A and B are shown apart, each in its own frame.
Chain A
Amino acid sequence: MSTRLQSGGRLIDRTKQIEFNWNGKRLNGFQGDTLASALLANDQMLMGRSFKYHRPRGVVAAGPEEPNALMGTGEDGRFEPNQRATTTEIYQGLKSHSQNHWPSLEFDVGAINTKLSRFFPAGFYYKTFMAPSFAWKHVFEPIIRKSAGLGKAPTHKDEDSYEYFYAHVDVVVAGGGIAGLQAALTAGQAGATVLLMEQAVDYGGRAITDGVTIGGKPAAAWIKSTLAALKKLPNVQMRTRMMAAGVYDHGYLLGYERLTDHMGPSDGPRQRLWRIRAKRIVTATGAIERPLSFAGNDIPGVMLAGAVRDYIADYGVSVGDRTVVVTNNDDGYRTAIALHEAGLNVPCIIDPRGDLDGELPAKAIALGIRVENKSAIGKVKGGKRVEAVTLCAQAGEGATLEEIKCDAVAMSGGWSPVVHLWSHCGGKLNWDADTAMFRPDPARPPLGADGTGFVIATGTANGHLDAAAALKDGHAAGMTAAKEVGYKPARAAAPLAASEREAAMMPVWSMPQGASYELKSKTFLDYQNDVKVSDVRLAAQEGYESVEHTKRYTTLGMATDQGKLSNINGLAVLADSLNADIPNVGTTTFRPPYHPISLGSIAGDAHNELFKPIRKTPMHQWIDENGGDWEPVADWRRPYCYKQGSESVEDAVTREILNTRENCGLLDASTLGKIIVKGPDAGKFLDMMYTNMMSTLKVGHCRYGLMCSENGFLSDDGVVARLDENTFLCHTTSGGSDRIHAHMEEWLQTEWWDWKVYTANTTEQYAQIAVVGPNARKVLEKLGGMDVSAEALPFMTFKDGELGGIKARPYRISFSGELSYEIAVPASQGQAFWDMCMEAGKEFGIQPYGTECLHVMRAEKGFIMIGDETDGTVIPQDLGLNWAISKKKEDFLGKRGQQRSHMTDPNRWKLVGLKTVDPAKVIPDGAYAVDGTMRENGMHNMIGRVTSTYFSPTLNHSIAMGLVLNGPDRMGEVIDFPTIGGESIKAEICDPVFLDKEGARQNV
């Protein structure tokens, strides 16, 4: 029986009862309970099933290192799998359930795996399912996936919110135990800005539970006064429920603050991810107790000794009436003493060591507790709960000397400093053989940009298991950190801590020493991934010498707990199997995060409407309210078409095309990039940027230009207007404005830094509205304010003036082949101007049109589109744009590239028009043309591909453009485009300009 004790529990408030739900049962706990302590208080030791064998498992630890007690918490939009019961605080109405079992936790069909365990040794899936080859994918993998795995993935959208917070501090102290508190105080008093974070709900670490005294008083009193002193310092910030998750280069540290996890759904974000720049990081992260390796060490009721006394001291919970303590160190005796003092029975303390001369064993013996030295547990008996242990000699093979009845086993295999944060960014470790632990090597810290160490490990995390040494070390770390960030700490001695003197521990990696194979195959190293001592031995036997390989082969330490309990035990077993020293085997890599953090916290506030910024033109809202059918264009949204009533998208596009060609269309072209280029060298600069000549452009005139990358490939296009002698305005594609502006600046800043040219991206200064179609001029004339006649404003010119009372710059440019004005007005008046055009255009049949109409109209005219006709491998020559490539210019970006042999290859596919034989059949986008011959590999020889393909309502015919081998020389030939359905569409090669080749429509 595990149960709530009559008294005790410093973290719980017995006056506040909390009801929660677990596996459909309504249970009670107290405010301050974790799910684990509350379940134990309700005599629920069985908390889950193991990953591979579905063995019954109970809680092992009391902190974030817990491997077994993983729960699903919350429901629907707040469901989260794999939450540690030991760090999940209960709240009124919490819903939770155990994982990895069917149909129930008590009766689990998957437990058959444990009977079949000899068929699932390390790497079984590499060995067992080799043949037949199809079976892995279709038979074995689906079965294994179904039976393995822990929590289920959420199926609902996360309802909670999350956020980031950025902070810059001198010193971060990770861990609020006594060493961390002292380090924060010392650094804070010296004047440094300090951020102290503690992952648990309260400060003090193990000191209170373990009976440490400081300055002659109980640790709790010192902690209280130190917290008060820290709170008085304006330069010190303290946070609980906040874990230092990872240390990265340049003193970058991730802090994971859990704001409302302990309260359930509440106002504000659930978690906050802190992204901190720290000059120094003090890691006072304590240590994690190691399990001992004996048969049946995973049976519910076998727990870490430290956790057993935590449950008593922190939550007033007894894990069993009779608890056997098994320990290879003096610290384990604290549990026996705590159990005894709580009035519980300790049938025996089993210790493999010979001499027991520390203060704690003496105290235990004086209390009348039976202590067996040179002894070991042979095996634990029980299924879903510990029933007894067999006592044997540590030196032997496990022959039973006596069976001891008990309900729980408290084990301690020694302590491992939490070196994760030290190691994340390259801090090195030394193996300390005396204490059997890896500890930070102060001579090899992770190095910052200035070549000095930026992480300082301290206290227990630095290998000081003794409270006095830990506190002193905390003080020293605070001094060092403060000094290194430029403060002068006052000379002061650290407060003196005291705890019982402890004798040396004895490394025990296998219990008993000569345990048989049978015992070893019931001795678990990694609880969460079900890795046993026998698995690691098998890996060693099969030639796995590297710890990194063994880890992956056996999956040791690869579960969500990342081997917090199993790492050292596992590599000690590997070292023993390889007959090597532990430091020579080494550790696996410590990677962030220290403990799993939620994906929600990583996403931060980038969800729902803030998921991705959308750029909106001044007319966005109007378009949205007037049938605009949005499509993404770079970060903008542009209307694909404007749907009227119940009209289909296709019908809308057809209507818009015909109306624009016959009457008048209105297009929001604001997204086009508009870059100002000014200076005495602006013409020279643009001659380099564009393939054609821009320096000769007359003021007031426009010229279409192409931009290529250095390699000669088409990168962007657009119309350039010369505003005055020294100033040009370059239009770019919608997606290209920022990129081309950066491209220009890069050349100006890195290559032609002495040219007198300034650029400015004025894309968003203007709303640009295209008034297009035979009635376009009439609309603008009705608005009035400036002469827009063919004489005053001929094709490919622009003028500054006013239209309808708004300052406007109409450009006579056309992407549709129609009479067209693109009018730039101030963005703040874009909507007003749009409204005027709609109003004035009413009598002329004006209708807004979207991007698809624009696309079809430009394709009818044979105009290329960056991103359709180009894909990063196309040069202007491929598209028949030789007319836009200056032959007079000495140089331009791309010129050299276009002279390479591959670029001048006559076999490069070239742009042609494609007119389908069946006028109603539209070739699918991206379709390839074949000539009927086959390649050696059995594929068709391809001779071209479609780049743009539409049904043209103007011509009442399907039209396309494509790149075809020797295309321009094959006019009139019919080629085949096979489609996915098997049908082949026949198309005749033709001129890509389908409509008004002379340009009579636009030049009026």
Chain B
Amino acid sequence: MSNAVSAMNGASFKGSVTIKDTGLQGMITLRGDFKSAVVAKALKTATGTAMPETGQILHSAKGSAAWMSPDELLLLVDYTKVDAIIAKLDKALSGEHALVINVSDARAMFEIKGAATRDILAKGSPADMSKEGLPVGVMRRSRLGQLAVAFWMDDEKTAHMVCFRSVGEHVFMWLKNASEKGSLPKYYT
């Protein structure tokens, strides 16, 4: 996989915040019954996390699990281990009605870092970007400008954002434009 490249191939930009393509990220879509103990157990094995509540993202040393919809999770794991984890999940869920599919390459992921992170996100997403509206531990499925994205805060200064790979360049340009000199709204900072 030495010839595999992420959407923006690790590009970065430093403006009022620092924007970085975080490179290849293992992502798995898991659809199934969240109430099923089998699903919860399979999830625990795959990411080391419990089942996230509505809107939640949970992290562990092994990976993360984010709530996407009432029957869909996004699992974040090591890119190189995706196939192995999917094989394990498929085996564990063989008796269940569930869907496990690799979406690592269908997405782009960015890190947005800096004190102005919430200000930058609030230029593009109609969701509430205050500490109360987007606390650490919540993944918000929303939009950025004209595009569907999902994002969460790792801490007060750092956000991660996921979008479709084909529009990764647009999202990167959008974030770059939003953090250009002289454009900081200073609402959350």
Binding site for B on A (CB under 8 A): 161, 163-168, 193, 237, 266-269, 272, 275, 277, 604-606, 609-610, 612-618, 636, 676, 678-680, 756, 758-760, 762-766, 806, 826-829, 831-832
A610 to B172, CA, bound (A): 10
CB nearest to A164 among chain B residues: B123
CB nearest to B6 among chain A residues: A828
Binding site for A on B (CB under 8 A): 1, 3-6, 24, 29, 31-32, 71, 97-99, 101-107, 122-130, 133, 145-147, 164-167, 169-170, 173-174, 177-178, 180-185, 187
Is there an interface contact between A168 and B128, defined as CB atoms closer than 8 Å? yes
Is there an interface contact between B5 and A636, defined as CB atoms closer than 8 Å? no
Is there an interface contact between B177 and A605, defined as CB atoms closer than 8 Å? yes
A423 to B130, CA, bound (A): 30
Across-interface contacts of B106 in A (CB, < 8 A)? 762-765, 827
CB nearest to B167 among chain A residues: A613
Least CB distance, A710 to chain B, in whole angstroms = 25
Knowing A605-B174, A613-B167, A832-B3 touch, does A166 contact B101 (C-beta < 8 A)? no
Knowing A167-B122, A606-B146, A828-B5 touch, does A266 contact B97 (C-beta < 8 A)? no
Across-interface contacts of A758 in B (CB, < 8 A)? 31-32, 71, 97-99
Total A-B Cβ pairs within 8 A: 129
Least CB distance, B64 to chain A, in whole angstroms = 19
A612 to B127, CA, bound (A): 21
CB nearest to A832 among chain B residues: B3
Our pick among A168, A237, A678 for the contact of B133 (Cβ within 8 Å) is: A168
Is there an interface contact between A615 and B101, defined as CB atoms closer than 8 Å? no
Least CB distance, A619 to chain B, in whole angstroms = 11
A676 to B146, CA, bound (A): 26
Most chain B beta-carbon neighbours within 10 Å: one of A277, A636, A760, A831: A760
Across-interface contacts of B126 in A (CB, < 8 A)? 166, 275
A763 to B167, CA, bound (A): 13
Our pick among B102, B124, B169 for the contact of A616 (Cβ within 8 Å) is: B169
Least CB distance, A58 to chain B, in whole angstroms = 37
Could you list 29 examples of A-B contacts with CB < 8 Å?
Answer: A163-B123, A165-B187, A166-B123, A168-B128, A267-B180, A267-B183, A268-B180, A268-B182, A277-B128, A605-B145, A613-B167, A615-B166, A616-B169, A636-B166, A676-B99, A758-B97, A759-B99, A762-B103, A762-B106, A764-B106, A764-B165, A765-B106, A806-B3, A828-B4, A828-B5, A828-B104, A828-B105, A831-B3, A832-B3
Our pick among A161, A167, A616, A680 for the contact of B187 (Cβ within 8 Å) is: A167
Across-interface contacts of A766 in B (CB, < 8 A)? 105
A419 to B170, CA, bound (A): 42
Is there an interface contact between B166 and A680, defined as CB atoms closer than 8 Å? no
Which 5 residue pairs of A and B lie closest in terms of their CB atoms, listed nearest first? Answer: A268-B182, A267-B182, A832-B3, A615-B166, A827-B105
Is there an interface contact between B181 and A268, defined as CB atoms closer than 8 Å? yes
Interface of A, helix, strand, loop or mixed by DSSP: mixed
Is there an interface contact between A764 and B129, defined as CB atoms closer than 8 Å? no
| Additional A-B contacts beyond A167-B187, A610-B174, A829-B1 (9; CB < 8 A) | A161-B177, A164-B124, A165-B122, A166-B127, A193-B130, A758-B71, A765-B101, A829-B3, A829-B4
Is there an interface contact between B123 and A165, defined as CB atoms closer than 8 Å? yes
Across-interface contacts of A765 in B (CB, < 8 A)? 101-106
CB nearest to B165 among chain A residues: A764
A238 to B44, CA, bound (A): 47
Across-interface contacts of B185 in A (CB, < 8 A)? 165, 272
Across-interface contacts of A615 in B (CB, < 8 A)? 164, 166-167
Is there an interface contact between B145 and A760, defined as CB atoms closer than 8 Å? no
Least CB distance, A267 to chain B, in whole angstroms = 3
Least CB distance, B177 to chain A, in whole angstroms = 6
Across-interface contacts of A604 in B (CB, < 8 A)? 145
Across-interface contacts of B71 in A (CB, < 8 A)? 758
CB nearest to B32 among chain A residues: A758
A832 to B4, CA, bound (A): 8
Least CB distance, B169 to chain A, in whole angstroms = 6
Our pick among A168, A272, A616, A678 for the contact of B99 (Cβ within 8 Å) is: A678
CB nearest to B171 among chain A residues: A613
Is there an interface contact between A268 and B130, defined as CB atoms closer than 8 Å? no
A904 to B102, CA, bound (A): 45
Most chain B beta-carbon neighbours within 10 Å: one of A165, A758, A826: A758
A678 to B166, CA, bound (A): 25
Across-interface contacts of A164 in B (CB, < 8 A)? 123-124
A679 to B103, CA, bound (A): 18
Across-interface contacts of B178 in A (CB, < 8 A)? 163, 605
Across-interface contacts of B145 in A (CB, < 8 A)? 604-606, 610, 613
Is there an interface contact between B103 and A616, defined as CB atoms closer than 8 Å? no
Our pick among A267, A275, A679 for the contact of B97 (Cβ within 8 Å) is: A679
Is there an interface contact between A680 and B97, defined as CB atoms closer than 8 Å? yes
Across-interface contacts of B124 in A (CB, < 8 A)? 164, 166
Our pick among A166, A272, A612, A679 for the contact of B146 (Cβ within 8 Å) is: A612
CB nearest to A763 among chain B residues: B106
Least CB distance, A762 to chain B, in whole angstroms = 6
A582 to B12, CA, bound (A): 64
Knowing A237-B187, A266-B182, A610-B170 touch, does A676 contact B165 (C-beta < 8 A)? no
Knowing A615-B167, A678-B99, A828-B24 touch, does A269 contact B183 (C-beta < 8 A)? yes
Across-interface contacts of B1 in A (CB, < 8 A)? 828-829
CB nearest to A828 among chain B residues: B4
Knowing A268-B183, A828-B5 touch, does A760 contact B127 (C-beta < 8 A)? no
A268 to B182, CA, bound (A): 4
CB nearest to B127 among chain A residues: A166
Knowing A168-B130, A762-B106, A828-B6 touch, does A609 contact B123 (C-beta < 8 A)? no
Least CB distance, A809 to chain B, in whole angstroms = 12
Across-interface contacts of A618 in B (CB, < 8 A)? 165
CB nearest to A670 among chain B residues: B166
CB nearest to A272 among chain B residues: B185
Least CB distance, A122 to chain B, in whole angstroms = 45
Is there an interface contact between B129 and A617, defined as CB atoms closer than 8 Å? no
A83 to B169, CA, bound (A): 37
Least CB distance, B173 to chain A, in whole angstroms = 6
Across-interface contacts of B166 in A (CB, < 8 A)? 615-617, 636, 764
A27 to B136, CA, bound (A): 55
Our pick among B101, B170, B187 for the contact of A676 (Cβ within 8 Å) is: B101
Is there an interface contact between B180 and A760, defined as CB atoms closer than 8 Å? no
CB nearest to B184 among chain A residues: A268
